Each structure stands twice: as C-alpha cells, then as structure tokens.
Structure 1
Amino acid sequence: MTASWTGTLAIPEPGDGIPPTAPEAIDAALATLRERAPVWIDTDVPARLALLEELVDDTLASAPAWATAAAAAKGIRSDSPLMGEDWISGPVMVLRNLRLLQRSLGQIVETGRPQPPSLEVAANGQVVARVFPSDTVDQLMFPQFTGEIRLRPDVPLDRAEARIGRIHREGTVSEPTVALVLGAGNVSSIGPMDALYELFARNRVVLLKMNPVNAHLGPHVAAAFQPLVREGFLRIVYGGAEVGRHLTDHPEVDTIHVTGSDKTYDAIVFGTGEAGARRKAAGERRLDKPVTAELGNVSPVIVVPGPWNDKDLAFHGDNIASMLVNNGGFNCIAARVVVQHRQWAKRRKLLDAVRDSLRGAEPRVPYYPGAVDRWRQFTDAHPSAEWFGDAPDDDHPDRLPFTLIPDLDAHTIDDVAFTTEAFCGVFGEVALDAPRSVADYLEAAVAFCNDTLWGTLSASLLVHPDSLKDPEIANAVERAIDRLRYGSVVVNHWSAVPYGMVSTTWGAYPGAEPTDIQSGTGVVHNTYLLEDVEKTVVRGPFRPPMKPVWFHTHRGAAKLAPKLARLVATGERRQVPGILWQAVRG
C-alpha cells in the first residue's frame, strides 16, 4: 500500500493537562521579554557564566522530580530500568549543555573564542572541527567515540575561525530579539536546550511554549531555569495549536524555532486548509519572520556486510532494536528502515537477532496521542508485519506492540514505510541487490536513502572493523559518509548519539526549500558556536567495551543515570570509577 502523504502522520492534541495560558498573560510575558532583550544583549560573558553556574545548580536540584514526572507520564514503572531513560534524555542532557556552554564562554574570556579540540582543513579542502571527546571524562565514558562538525565546502578556514562564537566578541552588534520556541512533546530536554541555543548562540530572549503532551514538565523546567526566569530572559507558557497561532502571529515575536512535524512547520509558514495549500504551492509565505525547525525523519540504518560472528549479531540486534524501543518509538530519530545487502549471507541472522531483542523489550504505554491509529495505518498497509507483544483492542487500548515489517520492496518508492514517519514503535527492513560488490551495495544504499526515504535529519551505518581492512570497502564507506544528505551520520551506533553529545550540531542537512522542508532548517546544540555547518559525523567502536546506556537491555540504567547527572554537573572525577563499574555491569 502506498502513502497518502509524506512526512509525519497527523498527531492529535491531548485532551487534558495544564490549561492554556491566557492571551493577556502571553502579552504580559512578551512585553517583559521585549523590555529585557536589550539587557540580555548587554549582559557580558562573565555575567552569563555566573548565570550558567546558577542554572547548573538549579537543574541538578530539579532533576529527580523532573525525571520521575516524565517517566510516570509515560507509564514506566518506578522499579523499571527504563527509569533511567528520562533522566538521560532530560536533565542529564540539559546539564551537559550548560557545562559545555560554560566551557565555551570561559574560553572566550581566556582566548577570545571557543576552542574546539581541533579546527583544521581536511584532505578534500573542507573545514572540520573535532568536538568530541573534549576532555578526559568524555574519553572514559565513551571510549573510542569521536565527533566532528563539517562546515560547508565553500567555507575557508579563516572565515570559520572569524565566525566561531562571534556574537560574544567585543564589538559585535546584535539587535534585541524575542524568539519563540515551540517545544517538542516527546523528549523533555528538547525545549530547554532549544531555548539555551536561542539565548547563548543567537543572543535572543525566549518565550518557550511547552507542548501539550509534556506540559506537565513545564514547572520542572521553570524551576531548573529559574535564574533566566527571574531576570526576565525566559518565559514559559502553555497551550496547543490555538495558542501557537496566537504566538507565531504576535507582533512581539521576531523569530520562531519549532521542533515537531513538517505539518506544523507548513501551518506556521503557509497556513492551514485550502488557503495554506495554495500558498505552499505558489511558494508564498504567510509570515516573513525567520523560522528554523527540527522536524521528523524516516531514519535509515545501513548495514555493511562483513565477517560478523554470533556475538556481533547479538550486539547489533540489541543496537538496532534499541533505536526503535527507546521512548517507545516516539522519537524523530527512531530507526525506521534497516537497509541490508540482499547477497549478504547473514542478513537473515541479523534480522533474527533484532527479533530476539524485540521479544525481550519491556512493553510500553503508547502515551503519544494518535499512536494506535498510526500503528494501524502501517500494519494495515503491510499484513506481513510482525508484532512483538499484544495488539490494542477495545478492552486494552493502552498497549501497542513493537513491530517489524521485513522484506520491503525497494522499488515501491511510494511505500508508506519509506515516505512517512510513523512516530510509534514501527520500523521496516529492505534488501538491496548489488551482486558484484559491497562497494556497489553502498552506492545503492546511499542513493536509496537520499532519494527514496523521506527526511534529512540523521542516518546510521554499521560496519565491522575487519571490513575496513579492505581498501575498496573502506573507501566506499567514506564516500557514503560524505554523500549521505543527513545532518548527522553515525558509524556503528544510533544516529541520536550526536543529540546527546551536545557539542556536535543537531539539525537537518542544509538546503531544504520551505515548500519541501523535509527534516527542517538550521541547527541547535553546537556548543562551540560554529557557523556555516554542513553535517556532524560521529564514529564509535563496532562493539564498545561497555553496553551503551541507551540500550533497552541495559539493566543498570536507572541507577547509573542519576550518577551521570551529578558527574556532569559537578565534574568530580572521583565519581568516575563507580560510574564505570555500574556501566560495565550493564
């Protein structure tokens, strides 16, 4: 069955939660921000560093209640290892963002600009900034992982150096600006971190609208960010689409950043209904305000054939399954299509390893609105879909099985699994023919991902180190990394890893037109404050010495996550041995 549309399927608003903020309260919040915008611009780097220190303390203090509330709303049992999930994707990420911003601003005070571990010209002439690992703790916690930001090919080194962190340099002129951040409803760190980027990378005061799905976390974010609220640099409001329209059209809002679906972006930029469709078709924007966005993605996982043994297959069965299972599949970078070489003898064994992992996954409550309807659209389209758990019924509407659709047809380019983001616990597998060589397969895989799959946010490649000993395959892998049109490309791990690194950029591949926005425009995180970004590339070991904490099979994540929060907040290295011991036990 083919798709009726592309992008992210419709997501209804929840019917309860924190009441919408009244229009007069919104007007008052924006008036305060307008008044304080010049003050923020005049706040020097030492004063911003002091604010960041306060923010670290308050976020750490708010973390237990924040993470507990997030997990409870998703139906996670208090004794489940999954309790670690919302610690890590919430306050731990925010704490890391704050500390990395502190580092960059401290380097501006000391040297005049942020100092990534390296900023140099690669052999192809492209400027590359190595941004991970940035210290000994990174090396200990993520051994053999590296992260780099590649700038656009036409950017020379002297321009890169001149523009890095420039808004904080003496003599730089910024206009007082009020930014609207429309927060995401799935991962609780997204809205706060988007707000931090507007404040510290773009020099704008922020009105953050919480998404109705996780509006219950707004008070926890407000407590964590109390120093910014106190100074009038941040305001938090609540409401759904109606409040969103009031805000996007408000004359006191200068710029907009949204994390959500392409349909939300279209509604903001072109409008809704027939009039919106006509504007989009004609390329006529409804608003002339700048709009940046991080949207959905049909995220691919490209498997490179190689001499995988049984342990390799088991590890990457968990690896691939975890890319779907995390957060119940309600992630814009959940794995959606596993791409394999039809001629690889171990293709079926890898699929069996994924199935084994899914069978052991803890059932999840489909907390995100409309999940059951979206799941049914995919399973109705693909009767061969395999369920790992019980399907919803009238007596049990609050259950949803993780679902694999194997053997998708690569030639059916308008298949719903290729064109549409399910935003629930569904993914598929497709095999590509390339009988002559692995290099030919990689060429075909890149073309398939770039030209058939919807979205430009992130992609993964899994490649055995022994495969890279073959120069032809090694060259083909590097060509694939270069040519994949995604904002992040990750080798051997989930393509969400750059989101968690924070020093890397997070956002779509540049160049999307507003009329075909795909995964969005602009970047966030990027704590070294680089400009002119093309993509982030992260590489990790094929089988790391410690089980990644984001694996759904990690038994100690709930105990490990609060310790990670304290380590990130305090930097106390004496905590590292205990954390490593817990991590190794996995």
Structure 2
Amino acid sequence: MTSTATTTATSTPSGLDDDQRANLDAAIDDLDAGARTWSALSVGQRATLLRAVRTAVAATAEEWAHTAAASKGLNGSHPLRGEEWLAGPYSVLGALDAYVETLYRLADGRNPLEGIRIDRAPGGRARVHAFPLTGLDKALLSGFTGEVWLEPGTTPRIARATAGLGQRTPAESGGVGLVLGAGNVTSIPVLDVLYELLAHNRTVLLKVNPTQDALVAVYEHAFAALIEPGFLRIVRGGGDVGAYLTGHQRLVHVHITGSAATFDAITWGAPGSATTRRRRENRPQLLKPITAELGGVSPIIVVPGEWTQADLTFQAEHIATMRLQNCGHNCIAGQVVIMSSDWAQADDFRAALRRAYAKAPERPIWYPHSDDRMQQANDDYPDALVLGDRLLVEIGEEDDPTALQNTEYFAPVLGVVAIPGTGQQFLDAAVAHANDKLQGTLGANLLIDPATQKSLGTGFERAVAELRYGSIAINAWTAFGFITPTLTWGAFPGNTLQDVGSGIGVVHNALLLDRVERSVLHGPFRPFPWSLPVVSGGGRFTILPKPPWFVSARTGAVVSEGLTRFRANGGAVGLVKTLLQALRA
C-alpha cells in the first residue's frame, strides 16, 4: 500500500516522506471505516466471510509454498521444501477451519466448548481437551493429543462462560490494531491478523517484515475478502515505517512477533540515557497496549530409560528436526538438550545425535544477521563440533553453559548439557534447570519412553505442571502445537513491559478461550510400526511412520504437499497416494 517516494517529496522527522505518511494514514482511514462495517456483521456473516478466505487460500497454496521456498533458497527439488507447505498454507487452512467451526457454533447459539471434554489438570487447573476434535485429525494424526490448561482458579463453568472472547459481543468494536509481522515463518503474520479480528474485534494494519516482501502479493490474493471491505491492509517497510505506525494515535494496539530487543525499542525507546530514565520511572514511550511473542531458548529434556537402537535413532532425528527445521530460524527451535550424566545409554545417545545432526540435508542460512549469530556461537564455544553448516556444542565439566542457555542463536546451533540423576530425581532437576537456567518461557520439549513414564506415575504429571512454559510437548515438538489451531501459542503468563521475556498474551486459540496458562501436547514415543501394541511397550499407537516434518524424512516434501492439498481440496485418491508416500519416509 505504500508508494515509492518522489524526488519532490519532503522528509519528516520519522524518516518517511509526506507521500509515505499519507499512504499509511489513508490505510488507517480505510480500516477505521472497516471497523464500523466489521461491527455490523453478525457472527454467522463472519463465518461465511472466512469461508471465502479459505477458498482463496486454497487456490493460492501452491504459489504460497513455492514463493516461500524460493525466498529461503530452497529450489524445486530440495528435500526440505515441504516445510513451506506445512508452515504456510497448511497452518492457515487449519486455522480457518477451526475458527469457522467456532463461529458457526456461536451463531447457532451454542457454546464453542460444546461436546469438548473439560476436566482438571494438576494444581486444580481446568483442562480443555482441545485436540483432536475431528475424525480426520484423529485418523491422520493418531497418537497426538493436545490440551489447553487455564489459569489456576478458572473452573470448567468459567471456561465455558467466557469462551468466544470478542465474538460474544461482536457489535463492540476493538478499533484498529497494528500487527508487526514475523519474518521467519510465512503463516505467522496472517494467523496474528485472524486472532486480532476474532479475539478482539480489531481491524488490522499488517506491516510485513522485509524478509517476506515476496509474499505480499500472495497474501493480497489469499486475503482479498478481508482487504476489500477494509478489515485488513498490508504495508511494506522497514523500521522507519514501524516506528511511525507504533506511535500513531489512531492505532489502539500493537502486536509483534520478533525479538525482545525490538519490543524494548518500541516500548521504551532506543538504548540511551532517556530510555534508561523512562524504565527507572516506569514511563513507557509506547502509550497503548502491546502483546508479543518473542521466542527464547527452548529445552529438550531427555529422560533416561531403556531405549532400543531404533528409539535412539528416531529420537535423535527428532531433536535434529527441532533445531534444524527452517535452518534454526524459529522462535521455538529446540536449542538445549538436557540429559542425564548417569544414563547408561548416554554415550549411545550422544553418538546417535551427532549422526542425525550431521546427516540432515544442508540448506542456506538465510535469515538476516544469522551469520553473525553463528560467529557469536563459534566465539562462545570455539571447541564446538562443526558439522557442515551447523554447530553442536557439547558442554563439558570445564565449559560454561551460560551463553548457550541465555542466547537465542536463531541459527543452526544445538547444545547438550548433562546433569546427574535418573528417574524422578533427574526429571525434577531437569525441570528446575529449564525453569531457572534457560532464557524465556515459550516452549519446552520432553522425551520419555512409555515404561519410564508409567513408573513415575503422578510424579511425571507433577513435573509437567512445574514447567513454566506456554507450550509443552511430550514426545513431540512444540512446533506441532504451533500449527494446531485449537491449541494456544504464547509465553507462560506473568511477563511485564519491564521484563518481557518470551512475550505477553497468546494467539491462535481458535476455541477463543480466556484465561489461558499453557498448552500441553502429547505424542507417540515410537513411530509406526514400532507403535503397534505388541512392540510399543504401552505407548501411544500412531499410523505415522517417520513424520513428514522430520528433516530426515525421505518423502517429507511430497507428503507435506499432499497433506496440504488434501486439507485444501479434499480428495480420497490423493490422500491415499500421500499416505503411501509417507510409508516410504
């Protein structure tokens, strides 16, 4: 929506010329008018509108995935190009389907949680069993379940009474909000837009990150049904545009996915004496509410047990995926493996992890300034293993883990930290280590074999409750929670403007739940066929062999594309072909 400056335009203190400011102001004018139109729509009409958006997203899915892959240096034959199908159109289609279901329920006078089980989690929390909710998800993603835990003191009755958020009062406008889009994953900006519209009744000005400029045309086609009536405007630009918009008096709210440094610059100002004084006096520069998702250093807790060689190999590839998907340019990329120094299989596991980490396909390190972060990691740990385009930092007794545990490298850097203990002693110590030593509270991963989990009993449940993270994945990766729309995404509650940590607030949350504390995802420890009851050791059954999002999945690209096409358009024949390819992963 912005235009190129003319040679006669005058510059302003914000760094923008008059034409740029006028174009941004005009976009806000359109959104002001759109906010009145949005407030006049019934919930049922909004559901119909989202169905139109879904049709357009389905039609642009191929262009979306190919454009995203090309922007990250993944050519048409690269084995990891399937990431851009799952992290782009697949995620958005799933979110639209879930939101539409919630809106239709509300339009029919029903509760969004009707027919959804709510019980109690440890600590007296209400727990909403939010995934799977459809027969298709139960079949294709068998073995995976997800729960949303609400804040202590929130009863099931309160959960039902408050579900729906802004859609309970659709005529009450939330005004016009600003979304500063993420630059690393192509679904994030538009998922944030949908949440602003539906949770808060705010029309949205989306400023895309410059890394995603190539996607703007795709977004404009896919979301034309929201753009035409003035519910969404999309603009390009750098920090000067962001600074102008965050300070704009007619924008009532800011949401950002990015870094804590950017958040602090928006909230308090650029580093300097004036900013230090504002912080000391608790006088933010930003005079409007802000929510944020800001990443962190995510742990991968490996609970010792008796693992088969297949277990060691599979879970090592699982961890390699947590770090190397999207080349490590993920706010939720696993960064620190916490394992037991007393585990009898510790050496075997370390060897399997080195192999899996080294064998993953190479790809460009594409995100801006990632080379600097890689150099920083090299400087922090000059003895780290250099495995192709990535680093593996194995912390020894004489090494200082502080940098590893407090620096979100946002690049292909994986660390391993060992602490003593086995069984409950280890698990409790690992949870405390993750809570107290690692920066951030966005997501934590925990791997445990079925026999060990069963032996720990309620001690395991208590340990999970003690993890202070907004998303917890047990025998899964928290990124699966990211693409599951009925789960929530955001930091553990309690962060402030002064100490923002991994952010404030949640997104996704297609059931529109209030008072969210965290989401907890459970997955199968063993893939098919080792998930069969006769060999699973009491674990969860799944039809999935190696999941298509694994960086080691030989057919990951074709399966990811096939699943997205099925999500978009249906078709039993295509699904069968996709599942057959999945068996070859």
Alignment of 1:121-520 (within 5 A): 121-122=120-121, 124-169=123-168, 174-274=172-272, 275-389=274-388, 401-407=389-395, 412=400, 415-434=402-421, 437-470=422-455, 473-520=456-503
Q: C-alpha offsets along residues 209-230 of structure 1, whole Å, 9 cap, x if unaligned?
A: 0001122111111111010001
Residues 165 and 530, structure 1, Cα contact 8 Å, conserved in 2: yes
Q: Deviations over 1:340-396 (max 9, x none)?
A: 01100112221211111122222121111111111111111112211111xxxxxxx
Partners of 2:74 and 2:111 in 1: CA distance? 43
Secondary structure at 1:180's aligned position in 2? Answer: strand
SS of the equivalent of 1:585 reads: coil
Question: CA 1:113–1:134 in 2, change beyond 3 Å: closer, same or farther?
Answer: same
Aligned position for 2:524: 541
Q: Is the 8 A contact 2:79 2:554 kept in 1?
A: yes
Query: Structure 1 residues 309, 57: closer, same or farther in 2, change over 3 A?
Result: same
TM-score by length of 1: 0.91
How far residue 573 of structure 1 moved from its aligned partner, in angstroms, is 5.3
**C-alpha distance in 2 between matches for 1:223 and 1:516:** 39
Mind listing any 5+ residue stretches in structure 2 that lack a counterpart?
Answer: 1-16, 529-544
Contact 1:99 1:569 in 2 (8 A): no
* Rounded Cα–Cα distance in structure 2 between residues aligned with 1:301 and 1:557: 23
1:398 aligns with none
What is the TM-score of this pair, normalised by structure 2?
0.91
> Structure 1's 217 and 123: CA in aligned 2 closer, same or farther, altered over 3 A?
closer
Instruction: Give the C-alpha shift of residue 162 in structure 1.
Output: 0.9
Q: CA deviation at 1:82?
A: 1.1
Alpha-carbon distance in 2 for matches of 1:556, 1:76: 16
Amino acid at match of 2:527: P
The DSSP-based 3-state class of the residue aligned with 1:52 is helix
Equivalent-residue separation in structure 2 for 1:403 and 1:201 (angstroms): 41
Deviates more, 1:258-267 or 1:59-68: 59-68
CA contact (8 A) 2:87 2:185 kept: yes
Matched-pair contact (CA < 8 Å) for 1:181–1:257: yes
Contact kept? 1:410, 1:431, Cα under 8 Å:
no
Paired with 2:165 and 2:26, the residues of 1 have a C-alpha distance of 32
What's the CA shift string for 1:65-87, capped at 9, x where partnerless? Answer: 11111111111121122111111
Query: What percent of counterpart residues are identical?
Result: 40
Amino acid at match of 1:457: L
In the TM superposition, residue 488 of structure 1 has moved relative to its aligned partner by 0.5
1:92-131 matches, cutoff 5 A: 92-115=90-113, 117-122=116-121, 124-131=123-130
| Pair 122,205 (structure 1): closer, same or farther in 2 beyond 3 Å | same
Q: CA separation in 2, counterparts of 1:506 and 1:340? A: 26
Q: Name the counterpart of 2:54.
A: 56
The letter of the residue matching 2:395 is D
- Go from structure 1 to structure 2 and tell me whether the alpha carbon gap of 1:278 and 1:141 turns closer, same or farther (over 3 Å shift): farther
Give every structure 1 segment of 4 or more consecutive aligned residues whose post-TM-superposition deviation is greater than 4 Å. Answer: 408-413, 571-575
For residue 444 of structure 1, what is the amino acid of its counterpart? A
Instruction: Kindly provide the CA deviation profile for residues 130-155 of structure 1, in whole angstroms up to 9, marking residues without a partner as x.
Output: 11011111112211110000000111
Q: For each residue in 1:459-518, what CA deviation from the matched residue of structure 2 results, as whole angstroms up to 9, or x when unmatched?
A: 000000011231xx2333212210111000100121211101121000000001211111
CA contact (8 A) 1:127 1:155 kept: yes
Q: Distance in 1 between matches of 2:398 and 2:289?
A: 37
- Runs of 5+ in structure 1 lacking a partner? 1-18, 390-400
Distance change >3 Å, CA 235–CA 442, structure 1 → 2: same
Match of 1:8 in 2: none
Which secondary structure does the structure 2 equivalent of 1:376 belong to? helix
SS at match of 1:22: helix
Displacement of 1:172 in angstroms is 6.0
Distance 1:350 1:194 in 2: 38
Per the TM alignment, residue 173 of structure 1 is displaced from its structure 2 partner at its CA by 5.4
Tell which has more relative contact order, 1 or 2 (C-alpha 8 A, sep 6+): 1
Which residue is equivalent to 2:558? 559
Q: Relative to 1, partners in 2 of residues 1:78 and 1:63: Cα closer, same or farther, differing over 3 Å?
A: same
